[in-house]
Amino acid sequence: MTSIGIHDLALATTHHVVDLAELAEDAGVDPAKYHIGLGQDRMSVPTADEDIVTMGAEAALPLLQRHGTDGIRTLLFATESGVDQSKSAGLFVHELLGLPRTMRVVEFKQACYGATAALQSALGFVARNPQERVLVISSDVARYELGSAGEPTQGAGAVAMLVAADPALLEIEPVSGVAARDVDDFWRPNDSTTAVVDGRLSLTAYLGALTTAWDDFTAAGGVGIEQIDRFCFHQPFTKMARKALTGLAQHTGATLTDELQEATFAYNRELGNTYTASLYAGLASLLDHDDDLAGRRIGLFSYGSGAVGEFFTGLVRPGYQQLRRRESTEAQIAGRVRLGLPAYRELHGAEHPSDTDWEAPSVTEGAFRFAGIRDRARRYEATPVGTAQPPV
């Protein structure tokens, strides 16, 4: 049987960053409430000329530069902060990256779970034709009302994955466990630019989906918990993943320590909540920071409010270290420009309705930018950094 999985992945984030210590001081709370209570240090904030499209294209570009576009016939874009009710954000990315015309492009949505749905679909495409490769992009901007309990869990980022047969990074095993339940723990109405969340219910819904998905995983013939060497969970904030591992340990009776997932936290502590990209930013962090993963099995849990969960496993391939991007990812994170709170709040409150032409100021130093709105349509362009097209 042909192995299929993640051949390569890359992460991207925004130009600006807000330090949660400043937010805590301004709110009159102990910074430890954010640093320890949430497990977060900073949050990425997009400029006026950045959004899910620019971050998604930025994340995908290094994959295409390394591997080319041969065999890529599908682009699946996962997001819960879409820029259009009809048109896939992936089509903007398709044009920015100069991808072949002979492609299918689709957007996936189910809260933070969407990227896993896209990944599982990509595995199916490749299983049907092992010569094909699929580009999966997960990209989101998490926004809550100013002054709300969710504000310090905002963030922004994207992860792009190349899914292929005989993958170089992670072979996804065929068994998975799933869970679904209609629950109002978190949602964003069509007429709202910020999310609505019931924090207490979201916690119990997350843990409930985890245990249901785990039981389904074992019933479907998944490996025993003692055969899983590392864990990587969806991280709306990193402390949630710690709670999840504790909950799974209690549910199974296994002894599971934080050392089994500690390496997954480095990037998400800095980016904040990246919704669909969160689980895979955690995976990128694990692959970048753990030098002893070859042949190891990773247990992954994906959660999307509303609510859907999935538990699945993957085997790390020998030589994975050769594909790591730790240096460039850490440089990108360290290179973000601090945004003061007054400027952050002004940017947070800015709205640009589609019935008014608007030109976005040039701020980002990334390869792509949102140029603004003309004739009710969103316009994107490559910056001087991104004008060189990837190899075909």
Average pLDDT estimate for 286-304: 97
Out of 321, 345, 375, a domain closes at: 321
CB 254 within 8 A of CB 299: no
- Does residue 234 carry a catalytic annotation? yes
Q: Check whether 70 is labelled as a binding-site residue.
A: no
| Amino acid 274: pLDDT | 98
Does 339 lie in the same domain as 312?
Answer: no
Question: Residue 206 pLDDT more than 80?
Answer: yes
Does 136 lie in the same domain as 40?
Answer: yes
The answer to the question of residue 20 being in a domain is yes
- Does residue 112 carry a catalytic annotation? yes
Does 75 lie in the same domain as 223?
Answer: no
Does 181 lie in the same domain as 160?
Answer: no
Which residues constitute the domain of residue 199?
Answer: 171-321
Does 281 lie in the same domain as 311?
Answer: yes
pLDDT level of residue 103 (50, 70, 90 thresholds): very high
| Amino acid 298: pLDDT | 98
The answer to the question of residue 25 being in a domain is yes
Question: Which one is catalytic: 7, 16, 50, 112?
Answer: 112
Cα 180 from Cα 151, distance rounded (Å): 27
- Phi-psi region at 295: left, alpha or beta (left = phi > 0; alpha = psi -120 to 50): left
pTM: 0.96
Letter for the amino acid at 334? A
Q: Check whether 190 is labelled as a binding-site residue.
A: no
For 179-193, write each residue's pLDDT tens digit.
Answer: 999 998 887 888 888
Cα 287 from Cα 268, distance rounded (Å): 14
For 265-283, write each residue's pLDDT tens digit.
Answer: 999 999 999 999 999 999 9
| Amino acid 387: pLDDT | 60
Question: Which one is catalytic: 15, 107, 234, 270?
Answer: 234
Cα 120 from Cα 139, distance rounded (Å): 17
Phi and psi angles of residue 134, each rounded to the nearest 5 degrees, phi first: -125, 135
The answer to the question of residue 222 being in a domain is yes
Cα 230 from Cα 313, distance rounded (Å): 10
For 345-370, write each residue's pLDDT tens digit.
Answer: 999 988 888 889 999 999 999 999 99
The answer to the question of residue 392 being in a domain is no
Structurally, the chain folds into a number of domains equal to: 2
Q: Check whether 144 is labelled as a binding-site residue.
A: yes
Out of 321, 343, 370, a domain closes at: 321
- Does residue 15 carry a catalytic annotation? no
The answer to the question of residue 391 being in a domain is no
Out of 298, 321, 344, a domain closes at: 321
DSSP H helical segments within the chain, as ranges? Answer: 20-27, 32-35, 52-67, 89-96, 114-128, 199-219, 238-252, 266-271, 278-289, 326-334, 341-349
Question: Residue 385 pLDDT more than 70?
Answer: yes
Q: Check whether 87 is labelled as a binding-site residue.
A: no
Does 163 lie in the same domain as 47?
Answer: yes
In angstroms, what CA-CA distances link 198 with 188, 201, 208, 301, 375?
A: 12, 5, 15, 21, 38
Cα 298 from Cα 42, distance rounded (Å): 27
Question: Which one is catalytic: 50, 58, 80, 151?
Answer: 80
Cβ-in-10-Å burial (0-12, 13-18, 19+) of 24 comes to middle
Question: Residue 390 pLDDT more than 60?
Answer: no
